[in-house]
Structure 1
Amino acid sequence: MLDPRKTLLAAAGLAALAAGSSGATATDAQHGLRCEILVERSGGMIAVAPTVASDETVSGAYRLTLAGASASGRTSIRQGGPFTAQAGETVRLSRAMVSASAATDAALEIDAGGETVACSLRIDP
């Protein structure tokens, strides 16, 4: 369970995403740790890319979870691992592709320097 004093949660409920890029961002104001979930549509697919940035050089771990359902089936993707971000650098942690025909919930959790930052995003078809 996350410590609510050290967690900042940003949730974005989007009715529809326009073509192009969108996303959700959260920031730990005390340490300048930021997470972002970038979303880009292309044809019948959606690329989801979690990123981390910090005002200070940090090392830590991330967890990305994607879960969704459509008439043709379910999506369940979990990615995670270690990272290092230099001060002022934005690091793309991974990339996952999901169907543009399914509603998908994306959640990103970043643990670094004793702090946790989380972003979440609902991606509607």
Structure 2
Amino acid sequence: MRSKEDSNTDRNRSNQQDRRNTTNINKDIIKSDGTELSPILGYSEEPLLPLAQACAPLNDIFHNLSFYVQLALKETPEQPRDGLSIDESAAIHLYTIEWDKPHRSLYSTLNYNLKNNDRPALLPFHRIFNKGL
């Protein structure tokens, strides 16, 4: 039979472990300046859209986006590697394409917004990169 002291010790260990787990989770969502970021939830359950449709919210942000979407789709193999769909693979390719000067490319704009922690500016990108990247 276990003593009351053993039960308390086990409970304390469990509580310490819970605190460590919570601390690790919180570290993932607290920025270096101490402000908290809420997790982005629900996007993994969203249905995949064709690349052109997933990019629709970005049409007003990027010059000639439909041209670059078509270019990425055209240059994507019919049997992409790594089990990706054509649209997922084309999304990765679209990310790497340099736009004609003086326009900013998709990766340049996305990386700028990620670096500056501009979460509202990142919302239009979620659908396109949900599965592709």
TM-score range, shorter chain: under 0.3
TM-score by length of 2: 0.24
Larger radius of gyration: 2
Structure having the higher helix fraction is 2
